[in-house]
Structure formats: structure tokens, C-alpha cells
Amino acid sequence: MKCFLLCLALVACGKGDGTGGSAAGGPREELLAAWKSAGLAPSGFAAAKDSPVGKDCQLGTVNNVEVLVCVFASADEAKAAQDAGLKWVGDTTGISTPKGTLLIVAADRKKADPTGATINKLMK
């Protein structure tokens, strides 16, 4: 658990290289690694074409929940895109939360997370 929190803190704080993360992979890759460490199963993340949320977004799944992770130049830009993330979620169960320079958007379109446990874990 300490490792997960440390990874999440690194994602949120960045390292000052202009991308909001380390030169070894960036904040999105660090987030995916933290999710794996926490026992989640992220898979299939690839560039999201024509994302309504941001330009640098990748779409994939985590434990069968559709997840969009966007990287922004600043935390303020990520926070400003939060409403666009909620529009992407639509009428399904989901969440749009900025974490540092990232915006994490999850939508349970397949109803794979009826208790919300996966979405809750994604945001911790």
C-alpha cells in the first residue's frame, strides 16, 4: 500500500520535466504501474482518437471498466477538463477526477462494477 501511495504522489507532483512526470515514462505510465501494484488489471491503453476531453488521452480498460487517462501541461488544465470528462461518461455510472496533471475518467458502460469498488480503487 505504501508503494501505491508513493507512486500516486509521484504522479500528482511530477518531476518538473515539462510533462508532469519522470523522464522514464511520464505520469500516465506511472499511474498504470500504480494500478497494477494495487491489484487492478489495466489493459489495452492506446491513443484515444478525437477525444472530447483533451489532446493527449489514452483509452483502455481496468477490470472491465472503460477508462480514459489524459495528460495536461498543468494541474489547472486537468481540472478545467473535468466537466468534459463527465460529458464523456454520459448517463452511465462513472467519474471524472483530476490528479495533478492527469485527468482520470472512468465509465462503467458494461456494468462490470455494480458496487463501484473498481472505480473507487481507481481514484485512490
The domain of 71 spans 2-123
Kindly provide the residue ranges of all beta strands, DSSP E only, lying in 4-109, ordered along the sequence. 42-47, 57-62, 65-71, 94-99, 102-107
pLDDT at 122: 93
- CB-CB neighbours of 121 under 10 Å: 17
- Which CATH number characterizes residue 119's domain? 3.30.200
Structural domain count of the chain: 1
What does the pLDDT profile of the chain (124 residues) look like in tens digits? 333 333 333 334 433 333 333 334 799 999 999 999 999 999 989 999 888 999 999 999 999 999 999 999 999 999 999 999 999 999 999 999 999 999 999 999 999 999 999 999 999 8
pLDDT at 55: 92
CA distances from 60 to 5, 16, 56, 68 (A): 22, 27, 14, 7
- CB-CB neighbours of 29 under 10 Å: 17
pTM to 2 decimal places:
0.78
pLDDT at 124: 86
